[in-house]
Amino acid sequence: MSPHRAAPALPRPRGVLSAGVIARLRDEGALPDPDAARDADPYGDDLQLALYVCYELHYRGFAGVRPELEWDPPLLAVRGALEDRFLTALRQDVPAAGDLDAVLGGLLVEPVRGSGVSWFLQDRGELRHLRDYAVQRSLYHLKEADPHAWVLPRLGGRAKAGMAAIEYDEFGAGRAERVHARLYAGLMADLGLDSAYGRYLDQGCAAMLALVNLMSLFGLHRRLRGALVGHFAAVEITSSPASRRLAHAMKRTGAGPAAEFFYTEHVEADAVHEQVVRRDVVGGLLDDEPALADDIAFGITATSFVEDRLGDRLLAGWGV
């Protein structure tokens, strides 16, 4: 098997919760008591890593881990407790969304120049910053579009058709070499990084783990389908201008043609996707299930919340 298709190694634990989950996957110990999740930091390394490991069983799994543990009832009970702690914190901490049209409109407002990660990388970022950024984002981009695909069976009509059309583009429109996860692997190679799936899980900060976990949480629960659509809208609507800045950063620093192309591809593709998301995915879902408006708005605002936490973490680490 190609090393890029092989399941990744289990990560190092970061606390009692993640240690117990990882021990269970190694058949070496007991799971933590689900009640232990109630006192954990919902955004901290331990809970977020434990949750990420549980979710990864639904993607490619881990080397040496029995496939049947994907549906292990005691493990699912622990996962449920971790999810409840995370989701409860988000509902408490994310500002009230308000009117969905206003929330969607807010996504079109560009951040002030000089604020945020993409502006920093465009204007002042060095190759070391781009490598650090690429390492963190690899936890998402090497599975790009996979978390969103979970929602397809939960949609119908225009929402399903629009979502499927965008996912088709994300998965390369029938061309394996244009799958966005593969394009990101090319970016990593240009930056001198290992592009193997899951290679940098141990380096992933809690804020990055939370961002990936948010997508899995929304995608794996039918009751959260509206929130997943909101998350998808936030990603697609804000991607194009941020990708333009990141493409400029890659070009300015001489990162390489594949690194630059990954973002120029998103500038063009996501500008089109934005219209499909608003008209067909969000609009179609609201036509079918108007009661999900608040959930869609929550998905958008929760995405902004976790993205801002990641941005603050990265900038602080770079001394900005």
- The answer to whether residues 197 and 283 belong to one domain is yes
Judge if pTM exceeds 0.85.
yes
Q: What pLDDT score was predicted for residue 98?
A: 75
Question: Which phi and psi angles does 56 have, rounded to 5°?
Answer: -60, -20
- The answer to whether residues 22 and 115 belong to one domain is no
Domain end (from 37, 69, 93)? 93
Rounded to whole angstroms, the Cα distance separating 151 from 117 reads: 29
CATH of residue 190's domain is: 1.20.910.10
- The answer to whether residues 207 and 82 belong to one domain is no
Q: What pLDDT score was predicted for residue 3?
A: 42
Show Cβ contacts of residue 50 under 8 Å, excluding neighbours closer than 6 positions.
15, 17, 18, 20, 21, 32, 78, 82
Q: Which helix (H) or strand (E) holds 232?
A: helix 225-252
Q: Which is nearest to 59 in space by CA: 140, 124, 133?
A: 140
Rounded to whole angstroms, the Cα distance separating 103 from 105 reads: 5
- The answer to whether residues 210 and 307 belong to one domain is yes
For the chain, the domain total comes to 2
Domain end (from 66, 93, 120)? 93
- The answer to whether residues 179 and 34 belong to one domain is no
Q: What pLDDT score was predicted for residue 96?
A: 77
Quick one: angle between helices 73-93 and 16-25, nearest 10? 150
Map tokens 């609507």 to a residue: 237
Q: Which is nearest to 106 in space by CA: 300, 273, 285, 291?
A: 300
Tens digits of pLDDT across the chain (320 residues): 344 568 899 999 999 999 999 999 999 988 999 999 999 999 999 999 999 999 999 999 999 999 999 999 999 999 999 999 999 999 999 987 778 989 998 887 766 566 799 999 999 999 999 999 999 999 999 998 999 999 999 999 999 999 999 999 999 999 999 999 999 999 999 999 999 999 999 999 999 999 999 999 999 999 999 999 999 999 998 888 899 999 999 999 999 999 999 999 888 766 678 889 999 999 999 999 999 999 999 999 999 999 999 999 999 999 98
Sign of the CA dihedral with 94 first, then 98, 99, and 103 last: negative
In a domain, 5, yes or no: no
Q: What is the CB neighbour count within 10 angstroms for residue 241? A: 16
In a domain, 111, yes or no: yes
Show Cβ contacts of residue 105 under 8 Å, excluding neighbours closer than 6 positions.
none
Q: Residue 233 in contact with residue 223, Cβ under 8 Å?
A: no
- Which residue range forms the structural domain that includes residue 278? 100-317
Joined together, the tokens standing for residue 64 give 């040496």
- The answer to whether residues 278 and 130 belong to one domain is yes
Residue 200 burial (10 A CB sphere; 0-12, 13-18, 19+): buried
- The answer to whether residues 195 and 127 belong to one domain is yes
In a domain, 206, yes or no: yes
- The answer to whether residues 72 and 109 belong to one domain is no
